[in-house]
Chain A
Amino acid sequence: MSALTLAASAAGTAHAAGAVRADNRVPLPDIPALVIPALGDTLIMVGVTMAIVVLVGIPLGAIVHNLGPDGLFPHRAGHTVLSWIISIGRSLPFLVLMASIIPFTRLITGTNIGIPAAVVPMSIAGIAFFTRIVENSLRSVPREYAKVSIASGGSTVQVIITAQLAEAVPSIIGGLTINTIAMIEYSAIAGTIGAGGIGYVAVTYGYQRFDHAVMIATIIILVATVALTQLLGDRVARALTPASRDRRRAGRGDRGGRTGNGRVAEERMPVAA
């Protein structure tokens, strides 16, 4: 339980920014000074985590997919083992995962509080999540492409990059969006054991001190962050899909904005988590 004790002391330092009132509530004008740096911490945590997740998850997802029955180098035992490891990573609730790997986290980062300590469990959960997303996106790419690629003289790596990953990019971006939003959520959970960020503020001020104004501020910020992430993800995925780019243009030109937007909603990339 040392983590929780440390979390409490971290709370003390963070709080030094605002003046403490008798009822222990943060005055309204001080809320931005409390919440905005916390948002910065959250974005750093999620940003660093997602960079690691993408770097590891894309190759890992490609390997898992290609070890599978429809892959380029099917290998039943290898596929089963990797798949089990990923499933275990996926099946633990994040709080349990985070608590259970504290020794590992400390080994890597030398600490078990703060942003670096949060990034380790978040990356592990995120990699397991993203590997499945990449695998799933690759599965939806027609196998024909790999055949074309092999017949055109492509090496295995060339086939994976050009005929699998490149064709799956919009779908992977869609999955990446879902994954990033999940990581924002995980960062809030990590915040409760002292990682800082929006989640930490929400729990220590909003929940433990019944400070409704802070609670509402964190909620607004989280909703806005998630909505922006989704919007950005959708935009990028669409921009990277030539066919949907055209439809959007056609929708705007011929039928006016409203129909255009309606059609865009229909086209959202189908991504299964």
Chain B
Amino acid sequence: MIRLDQLSKVYGSGDAAATVLDRLDLAVDTGRVFAVVGPSGAGKSTLAQCVTLLEKPTSGRVVVNGDDLTALGADDLRVARRRIGTIFQQDGLFSRRTAADNVALPLQYLGVTKAETRARVAELLDRVGLADKAKHYPHQLSGGQRQRVGIARALALRPSVLLSDEATSGLDPDSTASIVRLLRELRDDLGLSILFITHEMDTVLQVADSVARLDHGRIVEQGELTALLRDPDSALGAQLRPARAALPAADGDRVWTVSYAGDVPGDWIGRLGARLAAPIALLGAAVEQIDGVPVGRASLGIPASLVADDVAAALSELGLAVRRAAVASSASKNDVDAQPAAEPAEPAADDLTELIGVRA
């Protein structure tokens, strides 16, 4: 596992000091994928460089399997770095080396014998599905294949932690999906802790077990992916699944925005109509299964004449949570920055519905 304790990075000093990372705390357990998302300039790449200590953190600790890397000298650090495999944006393959020679690089540095290197490289290329491309040069491979070679290289020294720094950025959706599948397989087969840094929300949905949002060098929200998605008030949850524009509500209707929070029956709209004895208009919805958990969101048009508390209670009974923060029509995607950072929490559906204040 890997843990960051109060990790800070400040460039410059005095008046010119710029805090790029501000006391970050996070932990990635063995066999988990932890995604860090954030806009450009949030400090993501600095975070990646601090984790491998390519940049020395100003303060705080990077702890891998209980060892504090920040306390090590240059030589020990070089050894310790071998426990962290890094996958780079743009793969970082050496253009004058074949795929096999690229994968062999860390082994060559370590001084592994030729025969052993050959065997290990063949095994690694096979693992990432490129056994037949060993003799190919990077320019002869597709973007997705190059990134697979990068992953094989990152795994060469059997690390326990994998750091992925925008590894899928710039890949087409199919390649991204196949890289993500590979990472999840590796997570399960090798028990890796994967720190996945990206700006692509879609990819996070596919890969992550937990997510943190980095903004201006701080983690403003973090939690389990499915918990965040099921929390209607989570800014990060909303960013991960940006709402499409919903239909306008009919006159006399009030818009309710709900999220799946518990065991929601498939025919909940019909049940809700029956329960409230009123017509329910579906204005917009997205329902899917992520990590085996149903996740969904819907905008409903419900007659404004009904008592709000009754509607809320009915929704709650069906396992739906109501978004309380803003008026539904303006609660589409990008207003999340304006909201206060929510506490990372895994709230039960009941807790949430109790908090509901119905907005007009």
Contacts and interface: CB of A to CB of B under 8 A. Distances in A.
B54 A148 contact: no
A154 B88 CA distance: 16
B139 A151 contact: no
A162 B97 CA distance: 10
A226 interface: no
A243 interface: yes
A229 interface: no
B106 A167 contact: no
Nearest to B84: A151
Contacts of B78: 153-155
Interface string B34-56: 00000000000000010010100
Interface in A143-181: 144-145, 147-155, 158, 162-163, 166-167, 169-170
B95 A242 contact: yes
A147 B82 contact: no
A163 B137 contact: no
Contact of A151 (B81, B95, B140): B81
Nearest to B110: A153
B12 to A, nearest CB: 15
B105 A151 contact: no
B79 A148 contact: no
B83 to A, nearest CB: 10
Given A147-B54, A148-B88, A243 B139 contact: yes
B242 to A, nearest CB: 31
Nearest to A169: B96
Nearest to B98: A242
A149 to B, nearest CB: 7
B94 interface: yes
A243 B139 CA distance: 6
A83 interface: no
A138 to B, nearest CB: 14
A230 interface: no
A153 B52 CA distance: 10
B92 interface: yes
A10 to B, nearest CB: 46
B330 to A, nearest CB: 42
A240 B82 contact: no
A110 to B, nearest CB: 44
Contacts of B108: 162
A148 B14 CA distance: 32
Nearest to A158: B109
A236 to B, nearest CB: 13
Contact of A163 (B88, B94, B139): B94
Contacts, number: 70
B132 to A, nearest CB: 18
Contacts of B84: 151
Nearest to B89: A144
A241 interface: yes
Contact of A145 (B79, B92, B140): B92
Interface residues of B, number: 27
The SS class assigned to the A binding surface is: helix
B94 A167 contact: yes
Interface in B130-145: 137, 139-140
Given A158-B109, A242-B137, A167 B88 contact: no
B234 interface: no
Interface string B90-122: 101011110000000110111000000000000
B94 A153 contact: no
Contact of A162 (B52, B54, B88, B94): B94
B96 A167 contact: yes
A153 B79 contact: yes
Nearest to B108: A162
Interface residues of A, number: 23
Contact of A144 (B82, B92, B140): B92
A167 B97 CA distance: 9
B311 interface: no
A68 to B, nearest CB: 18
Nearest to A243: B139
A241 B94 CA distance: 11
Contacts of B49: 147
Contact of A242 (B88, B106, B139): B139
Given A166-B96, A167-B96, A154 B54 contact: no
Contact of A152 (B97, B109, B139, B140): B109
A246 interface: yes
Contacts of A241: 96
Contacts of A167: 94-96
B111 to A, nearest CB: 10
A246 B139 contact: yes
Given A153-B81, A155-B78, A246-B140, A144 B90 contact: yes
Contacts of A148: 86, 88, 92, 94, 105
B282 interface: no
A153 B88 contact: no
Nearest to A148: B92
Given A243-B139, A246-B140, A152 B106 contact: yes
Contacts of A145: 92, 94
B334 to A, nearest CB: 32
Contacts of B81: 150-151, 153
A153 B110 CA distance: 7
A245 to B, nearest CB: 9
Given A149-B109, A153-B81, 10 more contacts: A147-B92, A148-B88, A150-B81, A151-B54, A151-B88, A152-B105, A153-B79, A153-B157, A162-B108, A162-B109
Interface of A: 144-145, 147-155, 158, 162-163, 166-167, 169-170, 240-243, 246
> Which 5 interchain pairs have the tightest Cβ spacing?
A148-B92, A152-B106, A242-B137, A151-B86, A243-B139
